[in-house]
Amino acid sequence: MSFREKLNLDKLPEHVAIIMDGNGRWAKEKGKMRVFGHKNGVLAVRDTVEGAAEVGIKNLTLYAFSTENWNRPKLEVTALMELLVSSINKETKTLMENNVKLNAIGDLESLPKRCYHELLEAIAKTSNNSRLTLTLALSYSSRWEILNATKKIVADTTSGKLKADDINEKMFESYLSTHNLPDPELMIRTSGEHRISNYLLWQLAYAELYFTSTLWPDFRREDLFKAVYDYQQRERRFGLTSEQIG
Ligand code: FPP
């Protein structure tokens, strides 16, 4: 029986976040350049997005480029940006056909101009789609996001728009770039690394973490379903006891 068949479709996570890791190692294993791994990573992105839409997951967030990734060799950064632009161009039609809304979080203005504009265009084009929201974390890091939110809150408090007493979790969340998304219930990281790497630190507070040794370019929808199935077997207690959850 496949994991797809084993899934309880009434108990799906509303939001799945993924750290796509292992492209470089996948390419190295095959004696190829790292960029070859990233190119094949795009195929994994497509299949995973289709799989999420197929079963009815409403939100999928992919860590595509971290703030720290800017420090990679220039050639790799340029190739990744090119890949991003060409993938967005190529996939916008498929996103439209599948009713997928594209969204992006991160320091988007730091992206190369062409990449930034193509991205905004695709986001605008797909903005009325509603089956699945696909969020790309680009030039993103969680500490950057939290600091940014804090700066805005301080500015709004100083200008009198916000009272210090009104700052609570809900208010803070409304200043994060994920303000229109529910918190992920499940976070998947591929390639056998057991770290969160500055990804959605606030939002993952209660998430179930799932690690697989599969390298990202090999990841397919059945791997997603396996992770969701694993999540569905877990008891989420939010600090309560098993008895309280009943
Ligand atoms: C991590 O593998 C992967 C990345 C830093 C980039 C992910 C990008 C893609 C899959 C392609 C573009 C994405 C979209 C959304 C169209 P790594 O390079 O860190 O691998 P390693 O740990 O084996 O070196």
- CB count within 10 Å of CB 155 equals 11
- Mean pLDDT, residues 26-55: 97
In a domain, 146, yes or no: no
In a domain, 225, yes or no: yes
In a domain, 160, yes or no: no
Confidence category of residue 221, pLDDT binned at 50, 70, 90:
very high
Q: Which CATH number characterizes residue 68's domain?
A: 3.40.1180.10
In a domain, 109, yes or no: yes
Question: 79-93, 115-129, 151-165, 183-197 — which is least confidently predicted?
Answer: 79-93
Q: How far from chain centre, in Å, is Cα 16? A: 7
User: Is the C-beta atom of 62 inside 6 A of ligand 1?
Assistant: yes
pLDDT at position 187 is: 98
User: Is the C-beta atom of 83 inside 6 A of ligand 1?
Assistant: yes
In a domain, 156, yes or no: no
238 alpha carbon – ligand 1 mean position (Å): 32
> Which of the following is catalytic: 47, 69, 107, 230?
69
The per-type count for the chain, helices as H runs and strands as E runs, is: 9, 6
Question: 28-32, 89-93, 101-105, 171-175 — which is least confidently predicted?
Answer: 89-93
Instruction: Respond yes or no: is residue 69 known to be catalytic.
Output: yes
Which structural domain range is residue 228 located in? Answer: 10-141+184-232
Q: CA of 80: how far to CAs of 115, 170, 184, 219, in Å?
A: 10, 35, 26, 19
Residue of 38, 60, 84 to mutate, ligand 1, most atoms within 8 A of C-beta = 38
Confidence category of residue 148, pLDDT binned at 50, 70, 90:
very high
In a domain, 5, yes or no: no
In a domain, 173, yes or no: no
In a domain, 222, yes or no: yes
Count of structural domains within the chain: 1
23 alpha carbon – ligand 1 mean position (Å): 5
Alpha-carbon gap, residue 209 to 236, rounded angstroms: 12
User: Is the C-beta atom of 111 inside 6 A of ligand 1?
Assistant: no
Do 145 and 176 form a contact (C-beta atoms < 8 A)?
yes
7 alpha carbon – ligand 1 mean position (Å): 28
Determine which residue's CA is closest to atom 24 belonging to ligand 1: 24
